Structure formats: structure tokens, C-alpha cells
Amino acid sequence: MTYIKDRPTVICQDERPMIPVLASIKDIRVESANTRTYCLEIDDPVLRSKYRFQPGQFNMVYVFGVGEAAISISSDPAQPQIIAHTIRHVGSVTRAISRLKVGDKLGVRGPFGNGWPLEQCKGRDVVMVAGGIGLAPIRPVIYSILRNRDQFGRVILMYGGRSPGDLLFRSEINQWRDDGHLDVLVSVDYAIEEWVGPVGVVTDLIKRLRLRPDRTIVMVCGPRIMNRYVTWQILRLRVPPDQLFVSLERNMRCGLGRCGHCQYGPKFVCKDGPVFSYKSIQNIFAKEEI
């Protein structure tokens, strides 16, 4: 059973979509001073074997006695038995997660939402622009592309962080760059003496792009202000609005489009997104009050 046609199976039964299932923390990886990647395994072997997700989807992660938060999935879709969530500890739920250790339990509901348009990317160039924690939802796309590299054209990752110490997945970024299967450009807002890369906001990197607009898909994920400036610059490069995709962050509670907390104009980010084509939201994207 699926909760929406053509999406992966929700691990909670359709008649009980608000009930989380137990998952154990199998590994914790430090990414930066306030960000860690938590690798989870669903306790029930039957549900674990059924779990599948698309790059760009999210789970609702529940801390018992505290609450739950929507967290993007940052792991490899081809290895769904281990679910990775890269979490920045900034709210009550995520700070509670930061106090957990390997072996502790969490509740998980999902996966929810629409993901990145990988099928549409086949045979085309792909540009991914990420800022800060926004690299986490894009990481599964990179895994998927590298596994089927011959199905895509030129692939570019542009990633910006506050400082070198705030960059996520640093060893993987170096490996992606060294392997030569995608072009990797990384910038930081504030540098240290050891940093030899570009200094400035990630939008500065877009000025270096030489695109074939008619055959390029662009994916954007980062802070709201970054998303706006990046989309404006990409549109100026003549990429069609239906080939530009943005992942939006909103206060999501149910994951099913029922509670209304994540309403975005006429849409619900948890159900219609979090990944939207720019064409589908261009009339409301620039409005501050929405």
C-alpha cells in the first residue's frame, strides 16, 4: 500500500499514518560543531525490508517525550535498510536528538513528500546548488547519479558553507572531486588561513556557469534567501522554469497535508513538496508574507 500513487511505501500502515515505528541509532557521525549524521535502522525486520525512499523525501523523526521534526533523508536510496538523517541541532527536538547515543531509540514516520526529478534528468546536464544543511537532501541525488553516471550529461555540484568547519560530508566532497565524475565547486563565507578555495556566497559561483539551458536541470536547496537569489540567477541564464527545482523548508507537523502548518499559498509543502518546480510556485515564491 502507498499513501500516494507512484511513491514509495509508507512504513506506517495507511490506516495509521500518524503512528511512528521504532528505529535504533546504529551510528553517529560528527559533521560539524552542531551537526551530526544519525544512521538509523528500523527495528521491525518486515517494515525494514519494505522501506524505500526517493531522493529529496523526508521522514518525521520522533523523540519520545519531546516531539517530532521533519528531517530530510541524506542516505543512499540503493541501501534503504540504513536511513541517514543529517541534523543541525537548533530546536528542541533536534537538541534532544543530540543527547542520544548509539543504541537509543527514535520513532520514524515516512517517507513523505515529492523528491527530486531524477527521471527528468536522464540524458541532460544536472546542476545542484546547495547551501549549508541543504546539501543533505541533495546527497542522495549524487549517490543515484554516480551509480548510473552514463545516463546523465555534465554534472555540477555548487556548495556553500559559513566556514570550512561548517561544510558537510567533507571527505565525500573531496572524493567526488577527485574521482572526476562531477564538477565540484565549494565556497565559504569566512575563510581561515588553510582554506585555498573561493570565499564568498554560493551565488557567486553561479557566475562561472556556462550552461546549455535547454538541456539542463537545476536543483536548489538551502536557506530561503539563498534559494531566491540562486533561482533569479539561474533564470537569467535562460533555464526554463519547469527545469528549475527548489526544495522548500516549512514547519511540517503531519507529513500528510492535513494539519495545514506547512501551507504555502494553495500548496502544502509536506505533500506537494518539499521539492517543487519553479514553474509551479513562481507566482508565490517571491512574496515575503507567504
Does 93 score more than 70 pLDDT? yes
How many domains does the chain divide into? 2
Secondary element (H or E) of residue 156: strand 155-161
Q: Which are the contacts of 57, defined by CB distance < 8 A and separation ≥ 6?
A: 8, 72, 73, 110, 111, 112, 113, 114, 115
- Write the CA distances from 122 to 84, 190, 216, 217, 278, integer angstroms: 25, 36, 10, 10, 19
Query: Rounded mean pLDDT of the chain?
Result: 92
Q: Are residues 82 and 136 in the same domain?
A: no
Residue 236: exposure state from Cβ atoms within 10 A (0-12, 13-18, ≥19): exposed
> Stretch 111-121: mean pLDDT, rounded?
97
Domain boundary among 57, 90, 112: 112
What are 40-84's pLDDT values in tens digits? 999 999 999 999 999 999 999 999 999 999 999 999 999 999 999
Q: Are residues 260 and 149 in the same domain?
A: yes
Computed on alpha carbons and rounded to an integer, the radius of gyration of the chain in Å comes to 18
Q: Grid coordinates standing for 209?
A: 556557469
45 domain-assigned: yes
Does 100 score more than 60 pLDDT? yes
What are 6-52's pLDDT values in tens digits? 455 565 545 577 899 999 999 999 999 999 999 999 999 999 999 99
Q: Are residues 192 and 103 in the same domain?
A: no
Q: Are residues 174 and 38 in the same domain?
A: no
Q: Are residues 96 and 132 in the same domain?
A: no
Give the three-class secondary structure for 119: helix
What are 164-201's pLDDT values in tens digits? 999 999 999 999 999 999 999 999 999 887 888 889 98
Domain boundary among 112, 138, 160: 112
What pLDDT does 5 receive? Answer: 39
| Contact status, residue 208 vs residue 245, Cβ threshold 8 Å | no
Q: Are residues 186 and 218 in the same domain?
A: yes
288 domain-assigned: no
What pLDDT does 13 receive? Answer: 44
Q: Are residues 262 and 151 in the same domain?
A: yes
Does 216 score more than 90 pLDDT? yes
**What does DSSP say about strands 183-188 and 155-161: parallel, antiparallel, or unpaired?**
parallel
CATH number, domain of 157, equals 3.40.50.80
| Contact status, residue 109 vs residue 19, Cβ threshold 8 Å | yes
Distance in angstroms (rounded) separating the CA atoms of residues 160 and 73: 20
Q: Grid coordinates standing for 249?
A: 523548508
Question: Which structural domain, as residue segments, surrounds residue 252?
Answer: 118-281
Q: What percent of the chain has pLDDT over 90?
A: 79
Q: Are residues 93 and 125 in the same domain?
A: no
Domain boundary among 95, 112, 129: 112
What pLDDT does 286 receive? Answer: 75
- pTM for the full predicted model: 0.93
Q: Grid coordinates standing for 162?
A: 559559513
Nearest to 166 by CA among 72, 37, 31: 31
- Write the CA distances from 113 to 2, 166, 256, 270, 284, integer angstroms: 12, 27, 8, 5, 19
